[in-house]
Amino acid sequence: MFETNAHEPKYSIVVPFHNEEESVVQLHERLAEIMDGRYEPVEYVFVDDHSTDATSRLLARIGERDPRVRVIRLKRNYGQTAALAAGFDYAQGEIIIAMDGDLQHDPSDIPAMLDTMETTGCDIVSGWRKKRVDNFWLRRLPSRTANWLMAKLSGVAIHDFGTTFKVYRRDVIKEIALYGELHRFIPALASWHGATVVEVPIRNIERPQGRSHYGISRTTRVFFDLITIRFLLRYMTQPLHFFGSAGLAGLVGGGGILIWLLFEKVLYGSHLFLQHGPLLLLGMILLLFGVQLLALGLLGELMMRTHFDAHRQPIYRVESVLGNAQYTETRQ
C-alpha cells in the first residue's frame, strides 16, 4: 500500500499516455521502484490524451491504489504537446520530470539526471539518446539532420531535441507557453529566457509493445516548427526587423526603378509601356511588396506591444536582486 504525504511534492513526474494499455501498469511500478524512499515526496501526473483502449481504466485503478497519482483525461486527442502542457499545469513539484508512457524511456536514468541537476545547478537536464536502436534511414538520419538544424537555428548546443525525457525546474517550465508541436523546442524557448541546459546520455530502448505514433511523416511538421522557433527566438519582440529589411529592399529597388523610368519619360519622351514594360511592372511590384511588408512589420510591433501591455509581462527575467531590501519589497 502506498503512503500519502501531506506536504507539497518536491518531485512531479509528468507522463502523457495515448493508447498505451500495455505499458501503463509496468511504468508506474518501475517509477515507484526508483522514487520510493529516495526521491520523496513525489507525485505522478498521468495525462490520458483521450485514449480509446483500456488506458483510462487502468490509470483510474492505479489512482485508486496510489494516492500520489493524479490522472488528467483530456476531452479529445490533442497531441503530445498539449498533453505535456496539461501535465505541467497540474504539476506542483519543485522538480518536474517528463517522459513518454510507452517504456521507451528507462526510469533508472532518473537518478543520474537528478544528480546532474543538483551538482551543476542547471535549470533543465535534457536526455540524449546517444546510442539509438531504431532504423537508420527512417528515424536516425532524419533525426540527426533535424537536431543539427535545431541546434544551429536555436543556438542551444544539444544533440537530441526530440526526446520527451527531461527534467525541469518548476519556475522555468511554468513560464513557457506550449502550443502546436513545440514541446521538442522547450530547451530553446527556455534558453531564450536565460535558462541553462545540460545534456545527459540516456538509454534508448526499443518500444516493447505496439507501434510508435510518430514516423517519417513528421519531418515536414518539424521543418515548419524550425521556422517558427527561429522567428520566435530572434524576432519575437521586434517583428519589424524581420519584415522591415525585405520591405525596405523592395521600396528602394522598386522606387529606384520607377524614378529612373520617370526621368526617361521626362527627359527623352520614352514610351514606357512599349520600351520598358517588364521593368515598369517589376518596379511597381517591388514597391507594393515593400509597402506591404513594412505594414506587416508595423502590425506585428503593435500586436507585441498589446500582448505585453495586456499581460503585464516584462521582456526580461531577473536572476537575483542584491541590496536595499526595503526598496525591493516596495517595487514588488
Tens place of pLDDT per residue across the chain (332 aa): 455 455 689 999 999 999 999 999 999 999 999 999 999 999 999 999 999 999 999 999 999 999 999 999 999 999 898 999 999 999 999 999 999 999 999 999 999 999 999 999 999 999 998 887 766 666 677 778 878 887 887 778 888 888 899 999 999 998 888 877 778 889 888 888 889 999 999 987 776 555 555 555 556 666 777 777 777 777 777 888 888 889 999 999 999 999 999 998 888 888 888 888 899 999 999 999 999 999 998 898 888 777 666 666 565 555 545 554 444 444 44
Domain-embedded: residue 39: yes
Grid cell for residue 93: 513539484
Radius of gyration of the chain from its Cα atoms, rounded to whole angstroms: 26
CATH number of the domain that residue 39 is part of: 3.90.550.10
Q: Are residues 207 and 287 in the same domain?
A: no
Closest residue by Cα to residue 87 from 184, 191, 16? 16
**Structural domain count of the chain:** 2
Q: Are residues 230 and 155 in the same domain?
A: yes
Domain-embedded: residue 307: yes
Domain-embedded: residue 1: no
Query: Does the predicted TM-score (pTM) go above 0.85?
Result: no
Q: Are residues 108 and 253 in the same domain?
A: no
| Distance from C-alpha of 64 to C-alpha of 129, rounded to nearest angstrom | 34
Q: Are residues 187 and 272 in the same domain?
A: no
Kindly write down the DSSP assignment for every residue of 103-136, as one continuous string: S-S-GGGHHHHHHHHHHH--SEEEEE--S--S-I
Q: Are residues 180 and 251 in the same domain?
A: no
Q: 17 is in which domain, residue-wise?
A: 11-235
Q: Are residues 209 and 79 in the same domain?
A: yes
